[in-house]
């Protein structure tokens, strides 16, 4: 799953606040040297990195996904080494054994910590720029950029591409106006967030079309997920301003083949969905690897 923009903004604000606290830590080091007072716990205590603001932030922050976990691990390791290098430098100053290497080592670890934090911020900002503003779901750009990596990271799992389209969405816009239409899109996006597992991802593909990349042990299990989403959406009342609306969606579903491009898989799912539109809407259609389309009814 991907983070919401408000979550990203909160993470960035909390991280900036925590990192800024290290300026106080550096100033405190200077003060210790000038005043010949080296016994402060945040300076010489071996586990000080666990108790500063960054350490506390790292302890409470829960990464989401492998890439973010890798970023957080890099920050944690660089942060620990930076504190340890600073401690060794201060002990050397206290014992009058300090050399230029102590300062060079500390400077390098400061730079490594700063680099790790910058890498994570870039990751978050790149994710934020790929989120659809209206629905809060990742958009087509993020799907395009991450599709291949998602296949690589799940070599032992079957990945299915589920394409769904709101039935007669133009009628909603024509009848109630585009603001209500936007509200419907936001409501559907929330239903998709609530209706998929944590390791599946939903995207706004464009207009009233959404894509879900889901993992399932078999074609039948994937189709059951598609049918369940259809039924859940049809049975849910969307409260859009003063309007209580019901919508349905038509689902096109296909298994992503090894080394297949996003466009190839999406074309099959789109063909399956189009057949569903032609044959009655509000249904889940599956296209197999031989190009045969099946109406899945459970």
Active-site annotation holder among 66, 68, 208, 260: 208
Q: Are 136 and 8 in contact (CB under 8 A)?
A: no
Phi-psi region of 52 (alpha: psi -120 to 50; beta: other; left: phi over 0): beta
**Is residue 208 among the annotated active site residues?**
yes
Which tokens in the block code for residue 219?
């074609």
Which residues form the catalytic set?
Answer: 208
């Amino acid at each position: 799953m991907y983070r919401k923009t408000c979550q990203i903004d909160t993470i960035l604000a909390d991280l900036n606040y925590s990192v800024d606290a290290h300026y106080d830590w550096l100033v405190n080091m200077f003060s210790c040297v000038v005043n010949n007072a080296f016994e402060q716990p945040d300076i010489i205590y071996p586990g000080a990195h666990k108790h500063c603001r960054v350490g506390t932030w790292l302890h409470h922050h829960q990464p989401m996904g492998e890439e973010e976990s890798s970023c957080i691990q890099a920050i944690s390791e660089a942060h620990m080494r930076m504190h340890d290098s600073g401690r060794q430098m201060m002990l050397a100053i206290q014992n009058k054994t300090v050399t230029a290497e102590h300062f060079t080592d500390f400077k390098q670890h400061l730079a490594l910590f700063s680099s790790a934090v910058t890498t994570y911020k870039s990751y978050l900002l790149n994710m934020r720029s790929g989120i659809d503003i209206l629905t809060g779901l990742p958009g087509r750009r993020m799907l395009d950029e991450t599709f291949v990596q998602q296949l690589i990271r799940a070599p032992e799992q079957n990945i299915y591409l589920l394409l769904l389209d709101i039935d007669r969405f133009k009628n909603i816009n024509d009848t109630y106006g585009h603001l209500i239409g936007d509200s419907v899109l936001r409501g559907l996006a929330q239903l998709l967030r609530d209706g998929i597992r944590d390791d599946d991802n939903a995207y706004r593909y464009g207009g009233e079309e959404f894509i879900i990349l889901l993992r399932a042990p078999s074609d039948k299990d994937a189709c059951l997920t598609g049918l369940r989403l259809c039924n859940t959406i049809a049975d849910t009342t969307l409260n859009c301003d003063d309007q209580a609306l019901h919508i349905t969606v038509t689902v096109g579903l296909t298994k992503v083949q090894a080394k297949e491009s996003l466009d190839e898989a999406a074309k099959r799912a789109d063909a399956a969905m189009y057949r569903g539109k032609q044959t009655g809407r509000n249904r889940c259609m599956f296209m197999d690897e031989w190009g045969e389309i099946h109406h899945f009814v459970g």
